[in-house]
């Protein structure tokens, strides 16, 4: 493993902290530009995500060894110490002395002899004290969980108030686990049993999803599924299991007119089309013009003809279409993303309670606008990839309180048996937390217009 990998990881982490860049986008861009070999690319990915995931814990420990305070050192030096600590403390396959030597070499190249000496001194002190690094059990629950599982203390306290300490700790622990790969079978071209057999024949550790009859979970990683002929031929789509529940809850039928208000990158739109047998009319709307091409690419790849794309603000859709125009409407609302921290660990360091409150107001506004376009007797599904009740249950309660023509629709017969314990029948909703099934955290509510 080369120093180049660690240097690349340092550059990526610096951009994420300094420029508020998104970890997944910055990592993909850097790996493409750097043309690293497979081993170094894997190490960069591990260091970047691992360092972000464990930042709170790492800083807690490192602060003991940086005499003038970790926040007083230059940003690149602080990040170099963090990523080096991550390798020493969390990775078994890297010899600690190699992590220290590489850090010192990077410090010499980017800084000067004095900085290299400080980095060397701090990391060698860490090595001598590894056996003493523990989080005290006596700390208050929010503080302890935030340090053990590396989440912001305000967020842990909020989740404890919403879910209790035990559920919160399980959720925080799950957020630091690798996200499994799951795929959705395109039933217009094949079926799940045939796809399972094909995957297993080629060495994939594949099992049926418990959350979707269209889903397959790939437990062992064996190459990039997006580079296979199955993917290119439109036999499957990469999609999280929880996300697949959305189209099932919408239950759109062949011939219906459907609106997906915030459709990019098109995973739910295309799933809806597949469940309708590609018969009907599906409008895929998104506010971002550059994402229209993403949706259209997925539509072409899957061989669908029922999807039409458009660019526009979901808040203005009620002015773009006639009232009561659609049989089914999906509002997959913009949200804090607190259900997908495993995939995007930087999310937990970016969000605030103030932003969550602002999002909740936006979500309610979008829901009110979308509802105007639904036919009488039609179904509106509201979904988010967050676990915060302010963006989920509270939005639905606020909407139903002011819209007596809408009722929460019992969805029990649409849910797979595994999800029944997660149903909230009074809201026509299902709530999935990340540690329940190893999937993304999701909230899905089904509303019917009288």
More confident residue, 25 or 187: 187
What is the average pLDDT score of the chain? Answer: 94
Other Cβ atoms closer than 10 A to 130: 11
**Annotated binding residue at 262?**
yes
- In whole angstroms, what is the distance from residue 357 CA to residue 363 CA? 10
Mean pLDDT of 288-302: 95
Provide the pLDDT confidence category of residue 312 given band limits of 50, 70 and 90: very high
Residues 6 or more apart whose CB falls under 8 angstroms from that of 318 comprise 369, 370, 372, 373
Provide the pLDDT confidence category of residue 404 given band limits of 50, 70 and 90: very high
The first and second tokens of residue 446, run together, are 């089904």
List 172, 261, 335, 385, catalytic entry: 385
Mean pLDDT of 391-420: 93
Q: Is 228 exposed, middle or buried (0-12, 13-18, 19+ CB in 10 A)?
A: middle
**Annotated binding residue at 266?**
yes
Positions of E strands within 233-373:
236-238, 257-260, 281-286, 307-311, 326-332
Residue 440 has pLDDT above 90, yes or no: yes
Are 103 and 75 within 8 A, CB to CB?
no
**Annotated binding residue at 313?**
yes
Cis, bond preceding 343 (omega within 30 deg of 0)? no
Are 444 and 385 within 8 A, CB to CB?
no
Q: What is the reported pLDDT for 55?
A: 96
172 catalytic? Reply is no
**Annotated binding residue at 412?**
no
What is the phi/psi pair of residue 29, to 5°?
A: -65, -45
Residue 223 has pLDDT above 80, yes or no: no
Task: Work out the percent of the chain whose per-residue pLDDT is above 70.
Answer: 98
Q: Is 124 exposed, middle or buried (0-12, 13-18, 19+ CB in 10 A)?
A: middle
Mean pLDDT of 47-57: 96
- In whole angstroms, what is the distance from residue 430 CA to residue 50 CA? 31
Other Cβ atoms closer than 10 A to 331: 24
Q: What is the reported pLDDT for 221?
A: 62
CA triple 410-414-418, angle to 5 deg: 105
Residue 402 has pLDDT above 80, yes or no: yes
- In whole angstroms, what is the distance from residue 428 CA to residue 411 CA? 6
Residue 364 has pLDDT above 60, yes or no: yes
Q: Is 112 exposed, middle or buried (0-12, 13-18, 19+ CB in 10 A)?
A: exposed
**Annotated binding residue at 71?**
no
Mean pLDDT of 402-430: 89
Mean pLDDT of 212-232: 88
Q: What is the DSSP letter of 214?
A: T
Other Cβ atoms closer than 10 A to 165: 15
pLDDT 10s digits, 61-112: 999 999 888 999 999 999 999 999 999 999 988 899 999 999 999 999 998 8
Which residues sit opposite 257 in a β-bridge?
281
Highest averaged pLDDT of the listed ranges 8-22, 59-73, 393-407: 393-407
Instruction: Name the residue among 91, 93, 172 with its Cα closest to residue 341.
Output: 172
Cα separation values, 297 from 234, 278, 300, 310, Å: 11, 16, 5, 14
Positions of E strands within 357-410:
374-384, 406-408
- In whole angstroms, what is the distance from residue 336 CA to residue 441 CA? 12
pLDDT 10s digits, 166-186: 999 999 999 999 888 999 999
Are 237 and 226 within 8 A, CB to CB?
no
Which residues sit opposite 309 in a β-bridge?
284
What is the phi/psi pair of residue 37, to 5°?
A: -70, 170
**Annotated binding residue at 261?**
no
Residue 396 has pLDDT above 80, yes or no: yes
Instruction: Name the residue among 30, 8, 7, 10 with its Cα closest to residue 18.
Output: 10
Provide the pLDDT confidence category of residue 38 given band limits of 50, 70 and 90: confident
Provide the pLDDT confidence category of residue 115 given band limits of 50, 70 and 90: very high
pLDDT 10s digits, 132-161: 999 999 999 999 999 999 999 999 999 999
- Asked which of 37-46, 217-226, 239-248, 260-269 is least confident by mean pLDDT, the reply is 217-226
More confident residue, 311 or 113: 311
Counting every residue, how long is the chain?
450
Provide the pLDDT confidence category of residue 20 given band limits of 50, 70 and 90: confident
- In whole angstroms, what is the distance from residue 190 CA to residue 207 CA? 16
- In whole angstroms, what is the distance from residue 40 CA to residue 43 CA? 5
Residues 6 or more apart whose CB falls under 8 angstroms from that of 107 comprise 77, 80, 115, 116, 118, 119, 120
pLDDT 10s digits, 337-360: 999 999 999 999 999 999 999 999
Provide the pLDDT confidence category of residue 191 given band limits of 50, 70 and 90: very high
Mean pLDDT of 322-328: 97
Q: What is the reported pLDDT for 222?
A: 65
**Annotated binding residue at 332?**
yes
């Amino acid at each position: 493993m080369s120093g180049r990998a660690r240097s690349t990881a340092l550059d990526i982490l610096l951009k994420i902290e300094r420029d508020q860049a998104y970890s997944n986008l910055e990592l993909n861009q850097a790996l493409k530009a750097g043309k690293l070999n497979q081993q170094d690319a894997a190490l960069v990915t591990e260091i970047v995500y691992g360092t972000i995931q464990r930042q709170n814990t790492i800083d807690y420990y490192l602060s003991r060894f940086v005499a003038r305070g970790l926040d007083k050192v230059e940003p690149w030096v602080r990040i170099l110490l963090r990523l080096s600590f991550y390798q020493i403390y969390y990775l078994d396959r890297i010899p600690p002395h190699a992590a220290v030597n590489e850090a010192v070499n990077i410090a010499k190249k980017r800084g000067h002899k004095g900085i290299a000496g400080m980095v060397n001194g701090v990391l060698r002190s860490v090595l001598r004290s590894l056996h003493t690094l523990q989080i005290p059990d006596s700390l208050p629950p929010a503080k302890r969980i935030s340090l053990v599982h590396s989440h912001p203390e305000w967020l842990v306290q909020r989740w404890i108030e919403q879910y209790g300490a035990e559920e919160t700790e399980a959720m925080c622990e799950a957020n630091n686990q690798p996200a499994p790969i799951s795929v959705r079978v395109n039933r217009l071209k094949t079926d799940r049993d045939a796809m399972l057999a094909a995957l297993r024949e080629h060495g994939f550790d594949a099992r049926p999803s418990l959350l979707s009859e269209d889903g397959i979970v790939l437990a062992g990683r064996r190459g990039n599924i997006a580079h296979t002929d199955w993917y290119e031929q439109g036999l499957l789509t990469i999609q999280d299991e929880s996300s697949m529940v959305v189209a099932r809850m919408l239950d759109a039928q062949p011939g219906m007119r459907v609106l997906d208000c915030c459709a990019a990158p098109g995973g739910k739109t295309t799933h809806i089309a597949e469940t309708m047998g590609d018969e009907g009319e599906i409008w895929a709307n998104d506010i971002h013009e550059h994402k229209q091409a993403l949706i259209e690419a997925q539509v072409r790849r899957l061989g669908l003809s029922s999807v039409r794309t458009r660019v526009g603000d979901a808040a203005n859709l009620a002015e773009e279409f006639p009232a009561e125009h659609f049989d089914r409407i999906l509002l997959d609302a913009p949200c804090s993303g607190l259900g997908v921290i495993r995939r995007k660990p930087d999310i937990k360091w970016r969000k605030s309670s103030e932003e969550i409150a602002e999002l909740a107001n936006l979500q309610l506004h979008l829901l009110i606008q979308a509802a105007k376009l639904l036919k009488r007797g039609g179904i509106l599904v509201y979904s988010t990839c967050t676990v915060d009740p302010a963006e989920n249950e509270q939005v639905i309660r606020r909407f139903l309180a002011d819209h007596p023509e809408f009722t929460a629709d019992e969805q029990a017969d649409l849910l797979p048996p595994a999800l029944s314990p997660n149903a909230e029948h009074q809201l026509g909703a299902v709530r999935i937390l990340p540690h329940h099934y190893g999937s993304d955290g999701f909230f899905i509510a089904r509303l019917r217009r009288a």
